[in-house]
Structure 1
Amino acid sequence: MFGSSLEIKSPEQVEVMRRAGLVVADALAAVRDAVRPGISTAQLDKVAEDLIRSRGAVPSFLGYGEPPFPATICASVNEAVVHGIPGPRVLAEGDVVSIDCGAIVDGWHGDAAITVAVGEVPDDVRTLMAVTEESLWRGLAAARVGGRVGDISHAIEHYVRDQGDYGIVEDYTGHGIGTAMHLPPDVPNYGRPGRGPRLKQGLALAVEPMVTLGTHQTRIARDEWTVVTTDGSLAAHFEHTFALTEKGVWVLTAHDGGRAALERLGVPFGAPDGAV
């Protein structure tokens, strides 16, 4: 059902989204395991597509948008922030690659992203990745029924700003998700608490901080998809899809439903009884 332009899911619909989320989680795990110096981003794309289709699911990204996105994953290397198109590029020692992946099960979407180091990378890059991933969890932990989207945005920004002089990408945001990959509302990675649409039970959102070692400013490359930092600085991107249940936050694209991180942050775990 829809309320105030937001798609509100029944518990049964959230259960289907959880199935889609687990397909995405498995695909990202398979790609993470495949990342190594010498592998191409096209080969990583095949790993993800093969796994998604083997589960009876459909890749969300393939054919999406205009021009149609030509692959199953986004593979964004080094200064590429998001929407990188997989192809012949071969990963090298010291690269970082952000993998964004979506899958559809019975018409319902899951969407998540990780950033993976290729071999050894400098300490500042490792720290960037850790800060970005933790900011995602801080944002998820700020979500609660009756709260506002801005609570999530503020929690992400506040954590990143406390860690150092990083760029928080402003032109690309998280989003609602469900019967389509992108639904209202937008979920910025910066902002003031208590602002924006109210968070309701049955709402599902994809939260995805994008953080750089330099500027927050970006541009779109000639392929009309890949978003890169204007100063060439490296970027990291982490994302999860979550739903708000009567119990709390349920991270649909995390294998454990987000239990470990949410409990570490003192937030109720929202999975229904007997589910993970």
Structure 2
Amino acid sequence: MEAGDYKKVYAYRLERTRAMLRAAGISAAVLFDPLNLRYATNCRNMQVWSSHHMVRYAFVAVTGRVVMFNYGGALHLSDRNDLIDEARPAKSWDYFGSGSRSEEHATQWAVEIADLLTEVCGNDAILGLDRADLLPLRALDRIGVRTVDAKGPLELAKSIKSPEEMEIMRDSMRVCTDAIAYMRQHVKPGVSENYLLSLLNQYNIEHGGEYQETRGLASGHHTNPWFVEASGKIVEAGEMLVFDSDLVGPHGVFTDQTRSFTIGDRRPTDEQRTNYSLAYEQLQHNLSLLRPGLSFHDFIGEAWKMPDVYVPNRYAEIVHGIGFGVEYPLVYYPQEAPAYQYPGMFEEGMAVCVESYIGVPGGVDGVKLEQPVLITQEGPVSLSECPFEMDYL
């Protein structure tokens, strides 16, 4: 991509942020979530660290200035950023930095934000927060600032990708696919799950990627039920290896691809072949349904019907959005839908991942597959060229 195309992406994201805030009746938002910060401002700094230390935030007005409040000594990160009008040192109230003065510092933070809100947006402005820590929220309440949740507008903003944004996602997905191929070259009996996980990270970072969100790589009995994290376990011939890449690749894109295959030269057992065939069938059936205008509830009604024996070990959801991380929307299984499923529909420009997991309770192992796609008027378009094990079917 040309440099100008990247600038189009960054400008598009800020405008989407402002449009969704405006639609929600919000005058300005303070964004703490590192992914929302990056989406709206294209400024990153210690994303993982700042996800659990609220020492970095941005003020984004629907009409008016974007002010980046950065960690001490990091103001220069905004110097050549066309989206940021002003950089200021952040005020923190986290106990590790404020100790017994936490409430005092939270009040100072609230006063500065309130003054900025009035200056940029006028009196009676409404402030959105994408995350709310107790002390600063109480401080805003005390000085009369009206606050609302900004998480929803930011999720809706991120859910529709521009054509240029999709090119960035495709580039990052290719790095993930290549990282999987690199890791697979080193899969052999006798190596550890941790070693294989490290190879995914090594390739990703060497090629411009950033970090890994989860440790979802498992073998043998660790694959059933799912969510056992990578460990020092040694992989053995004939075991199923299952991994969920969850790599944050180049440009901060979350590259979510999942594959499963047997280790070594042994052919899969009958149970492994059955698991794989059913997981693949579920994945392809649900992928084929995706189209603009299909409601989440109708999708659930048309989705692949899982045989009862596998239902107890089903995955957490059928579909989720993807961008800087797992994003809106999320579509639940029929068993959870009555309690949790919200209304909505798939739209053109959404990038989503379709999930599948098959593993009978008490079985030797399980199979997980996941495919990222772009929803278009012509149907879903794959964002991953990572192959499936077609000879297992």
Residue 185 of structure 2 is matched in structure 1 by 33
CA contact 1:168–1:189 (8 Å) conserved in 2: no
Q: What does residue 354 of structure 2 align with?
A: 207
SS in 1 for 2:238: coil
d(CA) in 2 for partners of 1:153, 1:8: 21
Report deviation, 1:41: 0.7
The answer for the alignment partner of 1:120 in structure 2 is 267
Q: CA deviation at 1:46?
A: 2.1
Residue 101 (structure 1) aligned to one of 232, 241, 245: 245
Structure 1 distance, partners of 2:181, 2:381, is: 19
- Compute the displacement of 1:34 (Å): 2.8
Q: 1:129 corresponds to which letter in structure 2?
A: Y
- Paired with 1:152 and 1:26, the residues of 2 have a C-alpha distance of 32
Tell me the distance in 2 between the aligned counterparts of 1:31 and 1:187.
31
Residue 75 of structure 1: how far off its partner (Å): 2.8
Equivalent residue number for residue 218 of structure 1 = none
| Post-superposition offset of 1:196 | 4.3
1:85 aligns with 2:229: yes
What secondary structure sits across from 1:200 in the alignment?
coil
Structure 1 residue 33, shift from structure 2 partner = 3.5
Whether 1:132 and 2:275 are equivalent positions in the alignment is: no
- How far is 1:155 from its partner? 5.0
Equivalence for 1:185: 329
1:84-133: CA deviations, max 9, x gaps? 33232111123112111023221222201111112333212112012102
Quick one: distance in 2 between partners of 1:248 and 1:56?
31
Structure with max Cα Rg: 2
Q: Distance in 1 between matches of 2:312 and 2:296?
A: 17
* One-letter amino acid of the counterpart of residue 254, structure 2: H
Indicate the residue corresponding to 1:56 in structure 2: 208
Q: 1:23 to 1:96 in 2, by over 3 A?
A: same
Match of 2:382 in 1: 251
The Cα of 1:190 is off from its aligned counterpart by 4.5
The answer for the alignment partner of 1:110 in structure 2 is 255
SS of residue paired to 2:245:
strand
Contact kept? 2:320, 2:330, Cα under 8 Å: yes
Distance 1:166 1:252 in 2: 28
2:275 & 2:358 partners in 1: Cα distance? 7
1:36 and 1:88, CA in 2 relative to 1: closer, same or farther beyond 3 A? same
Q: Residues 125, 147 of structure 1: CA spacing in aligned structure 2 closer, same or farther, 3 A cutoff?
A: same
Distance 1:112 1:196, change over 3 A: farther
1:257-272 mapped onto 2 (5 Å cutoff): none
The whole-number CA distance in structure 1 between the counterparts of 2:196 and 2:190 is 11
Residues 129/8 of structure 1: CA separation in 2 closer, same or farther (3 Å cut):
same
Q: Looking at secondary structure, tell me which structure has more helix per residue.
A: 2
Quote the residue 2:147 is aligned against: none
The CA RMSD measured in Å over matched residues stands at 3.0
Q: Which residue of structure 1 lines up, in the alignment, with residue 291 of structure 2?
A: 144
Instruction: Give me the whole-angstrom Cα distance separating, in 2, the residues matched to 1:155 and 1:84.
Output: 30
Corresponding pairs, count: 228
What's the counterpart of residue 270 of structure 1?
A: none
How far apart in 2 are the matches of 1:150 and 1:18? 29
SS at structure 2 position matched to 1:39: coil
Q: Decide whether aligned partners of structure 1 residues 89 and 125 sit closer, same or farther in structure 2, where only a CA change above 3 A counts.
A: same
**What is the deviation of 1:152?**
4.7
3-state SS of paired residue (2:352): strand
Q: Quick check: 1:241 aligned with 2:372?
A: yes
| SS of match in other structure, 2:175 | helix
CA separation of 1:31/1:212 partners in 2, compared to 1, >3 Å: closer, same or farther?
Answer: same
2:218 to 62, 75, 78: 75
The amino acid of 1:90's aligned partner reads I
Q: Percentage identity across aligned positions?
A: 22
Does residue 20 of the first structure (1) align with residue 164 of the second (2)? Answer: no
Quick one: which amino acid aligns to residue 357 of structure 2? M
Letter in 2 for 1:19: D
Unaligned runs of 5+ residues in structure 1 are 62-68, 215-230, 262-276
Q: Which has the higher contact order (CA 8 A, sep 6+)?
A: 1
* TM-score, normalised with respect to structure 1: 0.71
